[in-house]
Amino acid sequence: ILKNIIDAGFRGKIYPVNPKADEIMGLKCYHSISEVPGPVDLAVIVIPSKFVPDTVEEAVKKGVKGFVVISGGFREVGGEGVELERRLVQAVREGGARLIGPNCQGINNPHVGLCATWPLSTRRGPVAVVSQSGTVAAFMATGLEKEGIGMSKFAALGNKADVDEVDMLNYLADDPDTRVVALYLEGTSRGRELMEALRRCASRKPVVVIKAGRTEAGAEAVASHTGTLAGSAEVYEAVFRQTGAISVETLEEFFDASKALAAFKPPEGDRVMVITSSGGSGILAADAIESRGMELARLPEEILNRLREELPYFCVIRNPLDLTGSAYAELYDKAIGLTRDYEGIDAYVVIFGDPISGAFEVIEKHLRETEKPILVAYLGGGDVEVEERRKFYEAGIPVYPTPERAVAALYNLWRSRRG
């Protein structure tokens, strides 16, 4: 964690504290927090749980008002851990401070270079990640970093002994750096307040929620993971519907929806144009569109005739528009250009099902010239696909590995307008 704070370029003062060291990573190390010169805003604690309450008490006397406790061994393990967490919370509250954790994976604010977590993520972006699970949060951070989307804030809440999802939602609702909130939730002890916070936040920006512990087995696992009661899946789903939050069930959909919402405005409607070089992939996209409650755009004869005139004889002129395995980038450019201004199309799913160079340039061009979302699936492209994906990632334009995932992302984008 210390290495990541340094490597992320944090501009504030950093004070390592360890009773057995005089220097860590080139920084002067203090034997106790009381020895640190000057004020301290945040203490990140990574020590055995039995020492945490006393350490926090000492830090509170120093005037520290913010704590992140990474250490596990509290309420989630039962027994003595419950008492340790009670003492920890008491020390924090008596000092008028706030706490994230314990049993958590830390925080990250890329806008100030504070990566007090792992992995190292430094790309600034519009997505805030809030999660009880550290690994889920890290999964999101890694993907958003790799694919050029970036994060605004990151908080892995762990046991939520103090700061919880209600606090984070209310904060993020007003955060100018955040355009999308991605929330992993296992349960809450503040049902009514959660409902109000979700409603307030979702009225200002999209909130994507994945609720873990939907089944009996999952609920039991939640209790042993963070010591949380999972609650009724049906009740949570009703809350999400009523507040306008976008509920998803898988990590893939959680990530895919978040990056689509970060990149695109919601479509005006649910009429989708599919352009593909793979007939099979186009069929899968059509199935996914209908199964999600959307529809394939109906092309008028005027546009169909224009496509027949401008595209080669081997193209299958309909929706899905199959450019076939003989396709090349210029055909996609023509196909999008000839249909883009038709008001009966609200969004595109564009599938590159072969090694097609120039795919990125085509999509980037049309995204500059239209507000209609264009969701890309690139598959089956070998080394060419790797290079094309790299260009999409560098530009922060979402690209999906399958037609179904592109359609699911579009569906959740559409839901954000309906919500």
In the chain, what are the domain boundaries? 2-100, 106-263, 271-418
Report the residue count for the chain. Answer: 419
- What is the fold of 271-418? Rossmann fold (3.40.50)
Which sign, positive or negative, has the C-alpha torsion 401, 407, 408, 412?
positive
**What number is the average pLDDT over the span 73-94?**
96
Alpha helices per DSSP H over 277-402: 279-291, 301-310, 329-339, 359-369, 382-395
Q: What is the pLDDT of residue 419?
A: 57
In the numeric block, which tokens belong to residue 106?
């830390």
**Residue 221 pLDDT > 80, yes or no?**
no
Per the prediction, the chain carries an average pLDDT of 95
Question: How many CB atoms lie under 10 A from the CB of residue 403?
Answer: 29
Q: What is the pLDDT of residue 169?
A: 99
Q: What is the pLDDT of residue 233?
A: 78
**What number is the average pLDDT over the span 104-114?**
97
Q: What is the pLDDT of residue 417?
A: 87
Per-residue pLDDT tens for 255-303? 999 999 999 999 999 999 999 999 999 999 999 999 999 999 999 999 9
Q: What is the pLDDT of residue 300?
A: 98
Per-residue pLDDT tens for 70-83? 999 999 999 999 99
Distance CA 127, CA 144 (A): 8
Distance CA 79, CA 75 (A): 8
**Residue 408 pLDDT > 70, yes or no?**
yes
What residues contact 216, with CB distance under 8 A and at least 6 apart?
Answer: none
Query: How far, CA to CA in Å, does 119 sit from each of 1, 9, 228, 337?
Result: 9, 15, 25, 41
Distance CA 414, CA 93 (A): 43
Per-residue pLDDT tens for 343-357? 999 999 999 999 999
Q: What is the pLDDT of residue 343?
A: 97
Q: Which residue has the higher pLDDT, 226 or 203?
A: 203
Q: Do domains 2-100 and 106-263 have the same CATH topology?
A: yes
- Going by CATH, does the domain composed of 106-263 fall within 3.40.50.261? yes
pLDDT-based confidence at 64, cuts 50/70/90?
Answer: very high
pLDDT-based confidence at 312, cuts 50/70/90?
Answer: very high
State the Cα torsion 321-279-378-261 to the nearest 10°.
50
Q: Give the percent of the chain with pLDDT over 70.
A: 95
**What number is the average pLDDT over the span 40-46?**
98
Question: First vs last Cα of the chain: how many Å apart?
Answer: 38
Q: What is the pLDDT of residue 334?
A: 98
- Which of the 8 DSSP states describes residue 311? S
Question: Phi and psi for 28 in degrees, rounded to 5?
Answer: -60, 130
**Residue 229 pLDDT > 60, yes or no?**
no
**Residue 230 pLDDT > 80, yes or no?**
no
Residue closest to 119 by CA, chosen among 133, 129, 108: 108
**What number is the average pLDDT over the span 102-127?**
97
Q: What is the pLDDT of residue 234?
A: 87
Q: What is the pLDDT of residue 256?
A: 98
Distance CA 61, CA 89 (A): 15
CB-count exposure of residue 24 (10 Å: 0-12, 13-18, 19+): middle
Q: What is the pLDDT of residue 358?
A: 97
Q: What is the pLDDT of residue 340?
A: 97
**What number is the average pLDDT over the span 366-382?**
95
CATH class of segment(s) 2-100: alpha beta
Q: What is the pLDDT of residue 134?
A: 94
Per-residue pLDDT tens for 156-206? 999 999 999 999 999 999 999 999 999 999 989 899 999 999 999 999 999
**What number is the average pLDDT over the span 197-225?**
81
Distance CA 168, CA 154 (A): 10
